[in-house]
Structure 1
Amino acid sequence: MISSSATNPTEEQQHLPFWIIWHIWKSRNNLIFNKVSWELGSIIRKAKEDVLERNVAKTNQQQHVHASTNNTGTHITRWTPPPTRLVKVNVDGSFNYQNVCIGARWIVRDDSDNYCLAGSAQLKQAFSLLEAEGIALL
């Protein structure tokens, strides 16, 4: 018996192979240029994280709500589009205190909330979260 998910794959299942290929390419480049090897499990995990991040970004885009209040009264800030005919780049940095390395992620969207481009990088040598955020912005 064929399951319904095999005949009708979810959007996540449709996009995952492309993200895996992307991370295999990044792994190859990291091995060639930085002499750093990624394990297969790490590549798959990063691909799944990117699919989930894209889905969250897409969900936020579809809501078209700039700010609202949830049931507990907590203020929730939503993404706001850039002026007409411009794009907006949202950037975030992360910092690992144990091995003093940072991660950076970014997403580019146009004034109609359309996804244009996204990426991520793992970088080394930062000494605080604030520095990681600044390096991610660069």
Structure 2
Amino acid sequence: MGTIVDSITRAGFSPTSVFLNVHYLLACSKKSSVDPKLHLAFPWILWHIWKNRNLFCFEQRSNNAEAILSKALEEASVWLQLNAYVPVDPPAMELEVVDSHSWKKPPSTDVKCNVGSAWSASNSTSGAASILRDSGGEAVLHSRRSFVGVRSQLEADLIAHVWTSEALSDLKINRVILETSSSQLPQSLRGTLEFTHLMEEA
């Protein structure tokens, strides 16, 4: 049976056997090369194939394969995101270095989060604080905390921004302008983003 399945599926799905098609689909779902999101969506793909089969048998109507797959992936994506199986793709990150000594309001569609940190070399500790304001300049929330085992001011800046970003992500706040007074952090992030861009092009 394995030889028959292999000989058929090399050229695509079988035009005559539902069993071979389902067998091939399940075999594909176990391949490590399959995108994780598509792998998790297989139950919905099978469900919509079954629904389309019933639609054809009882109502003599049928959807095309592209429509079935699109609907299955859409429903799978919604369910998996609501149940925290698949994270929503993060928005693109843009880095802009502006030398400004006064606070400016964000656009009406965004909020702005100012992040600050302080580092003590004598005891290797740091403190971080953030304040989130809306487009009217009103404070929405603020927070602060301390960290231990911090080895430099740059590390303190990075820890503060990671902590703030994780908090904003947990609160489902996406359109955020992060503003820092750190002189080292923008150069560090710029180098990281440039390296990531080069890796994506490679």
TM-score, length basis structure 2: 0.30
Higher RCO, Cα 8 Å, sep 6+: 1
Rg larger for: 2
Which structure's residues are more often strand, by fraction? 1
TM-score, length basis structure 1: 0.44
